[in-house]
Structure 1
Amino acid sequence: MRIGELAKITGLAPSRIRFYEASGLIQSVERKANGYRDYSDDAVWILEMITSAQAAGFTLDEIRHLLPVSSQGWRHDELLFGLKRKVEEIEVLQQRLARNKEQLLMVIDGIESKPDGMPCVDNTQRVLGRLREEIALNKANASPAK
């Protein structure tokens, strides 16, 4: 199939498909006598795997190592290792995001619960003090026990 049809099926711009090809993520295709690239049907599912992996947070280099080596399939152990490593990275990111959310909610609460009559500059110091304490407590709890 030609690149326009592949682009339409996958929803990717032809330039993106050519980029993936130049990056070695999809196999280079032979050009016909008329100069058009002729992609196999496998190119559709390879491109879908690439875009799904990118949406899951994989870099192009990581994807390159996870794609099937040939029509004979994947490198099983390398694929499993890469997938498990990405799950671990996502879990660490989720923990960091949860801490960030807690801190933001604490700041919002500190701003909304400003005591009547307290100047904003004093409330800012109060909120920042609570935030510093929370950050120090999180660091202390995250440190490995000796």
Structure 2
Amino acid sequence: MYRIGELARVAGVSRDTLRFYEREGLLRPEGRSEGGYRLYEAEAVRRLRFIKQAQALGLTLEEIRAVLEVMHEGRPPCADVRRVLRQKVALLEQRIAELTALHDALASRLEWAEAHPDPACDGKDHCVYLDSTLA
């Protein structure tokens, strides 16, 4: 059994993170010591590693909680995880497209600005580099 500080050290998270995960329903202590300390079994280390890996892949705590609930029910979470991963990939592809369009617009504007280093600009409420009607 691990006390909260020991588990935090082994898992590489803070005590506050463990308390937060407990409040969010992601982690449950097995009980308390005579001194009132939270006690966790070795399984908690594996669960925390799972949570950290899922977060590293972009899953939200809500999504992680849903996967953990499926696991807690004794069902394999693979179908649920595939669904979440599909959604994440689709969102990333959309965001990449948006960022690519922004990159192209900025690069085009910068190219024009560098080709016109001293534009006629009065400096009043506009900048020729940003005003698309002037470029």
Normalising by the smaller structure, the TM-score range is: 0.7 to 0.9
Percent identity between matched residues is: 32
1:103–1:48 Cα change, 3 Å: farther
Q: What's 1:113 paired with?
A: 115
1:43-65 superposed Cα distances (whole Å, 9 cap, x missing partner): 12221222232233222111111
1:86 to 77, 85, 88: 88
Amino acid at match of 1:128: D
Q: In the aligned structure 2, how far is the partner of 1:85 from the partner of 1:10?
A: 28
Whether 2:98 is the aligned partner of 1:96: answer yes
For the aligned residues, what is the CA RMSD? 2.7
Q: In the aligned structure 1, how far is the partner of 2:26 from the partner of 2:13?
A: 14
Which structure shows the higher helix fraction?
A: 1
Q: In the aligned structure 2, how far is the partner of 1:6 from the partner of 1:18?
A: 11
Q: Is the 8 A contact 2:119 2:128 kept in 1?
A: no
Q: Is the 8 A contact 2:29 2:39 kept in 1?
A: no
Q: Is the 8 A contact 2:7 2:45 kept in 1?
A: yes
Q: What's 2:57 paired with?
A: 56
Q: In the aligned structure 1, how far is the partner of 2:60 from the partner of 2:95?
A: 15
Which structure shows the higher strand fraction?
A: 2
The CA deviation at 1:14 is 0.2
TM-score, scaled relative to structure 2:
0.77
Q: What's 1:70 paired with?
A: 72
The CA deviation at 1:85 is 1.2
1:8–1:126 Cα change, 3 Å: closer
Q: In the aligned structure 2, how far is the partner of 1:73 from the partner of 1:7?
A: 28
Q: Secondary structure at the match of 1:38?
A: strand
TM-score, scaled relative to structure 1:
0.72
Q: Gaps spanning 5+ residues in structure 1: where? A: 133-146
